[in-house]
Every structure is written in structure tokens, then in C-alpha cells.
Chain A
């Protein structure tokens, strides 16, 4: 069960609904944990409701559990509901109610402080995880390397610094090892020493610990290699050969071997990061390579003991990374060429393949999709059969339906639509439709319309007539939930837990379609028809 890649979150409903003999594991999915996850951010909402009804166990862990709770509680298709289904809502702490490290989208890490104790019955995520592990019987193994402290109400929970330290001791491959809690906290206490344009510290000594901040990039953006003692500054830009590797520089990794079909995959002579002792391409570092180069004896005895038989990814002392980077300016993951042709993907270079649901049968014929896959991440995944069946779907559903984001809301939207200041900015779900497409359908700006999809689902939203979309396309935001095909779900929310603004979820109507490598769901292109709602 645990030795092959599992089902992706985008396909969990098929794990429940698919025929048992077609899935690549013994049993179907019987229990789901919605841990900080919004149901309306996943496609095929109508089928999701059926899957939710069939589960034995549904646990929602979130500061705002309302959308999942309401979707589970509302009546579905007769006969779907599993009489044994148990639904649990566990309130989790918000960002203000716990401390810990967070990673920003520029790869910097920051240490967050707790502002208030968790309110009401909410508990921190790590306390909930520990308590779940206790119930399942592997709590001792889970926290073997972690210090336990007293959390809310005196209940034990892993110390949050310990958790980051465990990450620091194990994630050598992506450089999550140098960002110790001490370095991050020192950064937060001394934000003023960091240059606002380069994010690099200019001098500075932390009063509390004496830590010298000079040279660090704010938040030690990963990859930040080696142990925290190595004091790698973090990497502000990836693959920057104008800098030394100990200065945040790097080169492309050697991840695909040394050569292929007689062609050298490593970097050519003269292509290397600044100051590297090896000025040609080189493979990933392991104990054999270090010994060949005569660098093995630069390791301490303790490091040698840990690094024997290991490589830069599995040497838990960090010695290989230290010697390679600090003493010789080389990159532990090797120095190779970047791949423009990804030979192990279904399409080595990106090719256009028409979407499964398309309004253009001529393009379907010219750019057909992949063949069906029998077992992909444990599930049968269809491409060509769906596309063939829906070749002429454009006759009934002539508009391309795309979905995306708004500024004022985030993700599934339950949290942000509960904030009155944000909710006031966008009080209704809408569909952007071109003036010509609207006029052809007798739709005026602001009127209620039904958006219907090939799944049979239809959602009731307000029309926003705008030139922003072209004549053949409509666009909807995905942040709304709380209305289901025209019906207000308010009665099914836990009392007092409903958000300020509710609306239809676009994903109630979205269709089947998954990426051929990542199983990413298709939210950007399917088809629909829009009709003016009467009465």
C-alpha cells in the first residue's frame, strides 16, 4: 500500500466511486480528512457530493469548516447516503493562535509568533496530528525525534521548533537544512539590517544570541544547504553562476545521469558557478566521488562515520555538502545542462493537445489527446475515450468555460468570505460574459443566469457583461460556495458558522480532465451554455 504513489487529491472522489476491480489497491477509499482543504476548489462537484455521501468517515479540520460541513449535511441523491457515515468537525487554530515557520513564495522562511491562545475548542494542527496518532497507535514513532511540550489545556504537543529541526535534519535534497529556528528568529528580531532591495543583511549582530547576521539573505530562502552551522546564506535566485555557491549561487543539477545516447548531459568545460574548483561538468557527489577527488579526508571523523557509503542526499552529518561547497565551491547536486527535451514525459516537448471538452471538433481531430491510462496514480484515467465521446459537445455547449481567482478572496473562500471587509467588496458570484454572447442570449448586465455544463449540473449566478472575455469564452471565479444549483445551503451550515457571502461554486459544474504527468485537474477549460434565468 505504502510503496507506490497514492491517489492524488484531485481524484479522491474516484477512489470512492470507481469500481473496486479497476483501482490499483485493495479497497476503495472509505475515509477522508479535509485538513485545511476546500471542497469547492476541486472539479466535478456534483460527483464529489455523491462521494461524500458514500464515505464511512469524513473529518473536517479547519478554522472554518462550514463549506464541507454544509455540503456533507445537505440532502443528495437518494440511496447514496451511507448509513454508517460519521462526520466530525475539529476546529483548528488559525495563524494567530500558533507559532512556527512559514515559507513565502519567494522561498524565504519566516518565524511567526503566537498572538493569542487558541480560542474556544480549537487546537493546533500538530496537537491534532499527535492525538490522531495516539488513537491510531503510532504516536511514539511519530514524535520519536521531537521534544514534547504542554499545549492548550495542558495537553501535550510536539514543540514547534523541534518539528523544524527534524525537517532541517532530513531534507538535504532541497536545501531545507540550513534554516534553523535560531537563525530564523534572529532574522525576525533584526529585520532592519536587511537591505530592502537585495534582501541581504549588511552586518548586524543579534543582541539576544550574538548571532552574526552579515551575509544572510532574509529568511534563508531555500535551497539553504548544509547544517545551520555552515551558515549558508540561502539562495535568492536559482542557478546563478555569477556567484559562489556559498554566496547564494548555483548551477543546474545533474539529475538525469552523465550521458544519454552518447550525448554528454553534464555541463561543458568552462560552465560552472563562480570560484568552483571543478571547472567542467560533474555528477552528483557521493562518498566514492569524494574519495576519488582526494577530498574525503577533509571530513571530520564524525562526518566520515555518517557519510561512509552515502551521498549528498543521505549523509545526515551534512559533511559532504560542507566540504564540497565551503572548501571547493562546488555544488553537491552536480553541474549539468538543463533539459529542454524531457524524454521521460509523454510529450518530451510541450505539444498542443485539444482539451477533452472542446467547442472545436476540427482541432480535436488535428490535435487529439493522449490514450487512456489503465492505472495512473492507482486509478484508471481517461483521455481519448472522453474526448471522442464529446467531439460534438460544442453544439449543445458552445461557450468555453474558464475559472480563476479574484484579489479579494482566497481559495475556497470560506475564510475570506467570512471577513466583512473583504466580503463587502464582492458580494455575489458572477460569470463574465462578452456583450455579443450576452446579447445573443437576451442577457443584460446584472441579470441572473444559469450556467449549464455537460455534467448535467447548472449553477445560478449573476451576469457581468464585459469585454474582458471574448465572444466564445466565459469566466467565473472559484472562491464561492454556499449555494448549490440554485438552492441556498444556509440551513445546512453549523449554526452561526456561515460566511457573510455565499454563492454558487463554479466547480459544481466543472468536468473530467487531468494532466498526463501530474494528474492536475482541468479548471481552465471546459464548455458550458449560459441561459437567462426566468422567474
Chain B
């Protein structure tokens, strides 16, 4: 295309960029919050017995054991 056209297009682009376009990046403080690991729980009121809050391995073992309650073929108290 002709140099005039190119120049015109270039000017339109510059004007558009310059005129009041909103920033589309997430502002600081607006990012997704980091989630606390699930085995850490400060609230002690409703904890299932048998594991230690804060201990990941204890939590893992607790959930694996609890899942066996869904198994009719497992001998369980």
C-alpha cells in the first residue's frame, strides 16, 4: 500500500493507544490469593480425631484411612 496510507494508519494507531485505554494487567493486590495448605488449620473446633494439624504426612494417612470407610470389603471397626 502507498506510503500515505501507511502513515495514516500509523497515526490512527498512535492516537488509539494514547487515548484513555484501560490497563488490562491485574493491579498489585488483585492477584489470586495464595491458598494455605489443607493440612494447616488454626481452627480446632471440628477436626476429625486421629491426625495432627500441621503435619502433612499425618493428614495424608488420615484421609487414606478415612477413605476405607467407603470400602465394604475392608474389615473396619
* Residue positions of A touching B, CB distance < 8 A: 192, 196
List chain B residues, Cβ under 8 A from A192.
77
Q: Is B76 an interface residue (CB 8 A)?
A: yes
Q: How far is the CA of A192 from the CA of B77 in the complex (A)?
A: 8
List chain B residues, Cβ under 8 A from A196.
76-77
Q: Mark B30-62, 1 if CB is under 8 A from A, else 0.
A: 000000000000000000000000000000000
A-B contacts counted at CB < 8 A amount to: 3
Q: How far is the CA of A192 from the CA of B76 in the complex (A)?
A: 11
The 3 closest A-B CB pairs, nearest first, are A192-B77, A196-B76, A196-B77
* Residue positions of B touching A, CB distance < 8 A: 76-77
3 A-B pairs (CB sep. < 8 Å): A192-B77, A196-B76, A196-B77
List chain A residues, Cβ under 8 A from B76.
196
Output the nearest chain B residue to A195 by Cβ-Cβ distance: B77
Q: How far is the CA of A196 from the CA of B77 in the complex (A)?
A: 7
Output the nearest chain A residue to B72 by Cβ-Cβ distance: A197
List chain A residues, Cβ under 8 A from B77.
192, 196
Q: How far is the CA of A389 from the CA of B10 in the complex (A)?
A: 96
Q: How far is the CA of A320 from the CA of B77 in the complex (A)?
A: 38
Q: How far is the CA of A265 from the CA of B1 in the complex (A)?
A: 114
Q: How far is the CA of A196 from the CA of B76 in the complex (A)?
A: 8
In the assembled complex, the CB of A162 is this many whole angstroms from the nearest CB of chain B, namely 35
Q: How far is the CA of A204 from the CA of B3 in the complex (A)?
A: 97
Q: How far is the CA of A196 from the CA of B72 in the complex (A)?
A: 11
In the assembled complex, the CB of A445 is this many whole angstroms from the nearest CB of chain B, namely 37
Output the nearest chain B residue to A202 by Cβ-Cβ distance: B77
Q: How far is the CA of A196 from the CA of B69 in the complex (A)?
A: 11
Q: How far is the CA of A183 from the CA of B33 in the complex (A)?
A: 53
Q: How far is the CA of A196 from the CA of B68 in the complex (A)?
A: 14
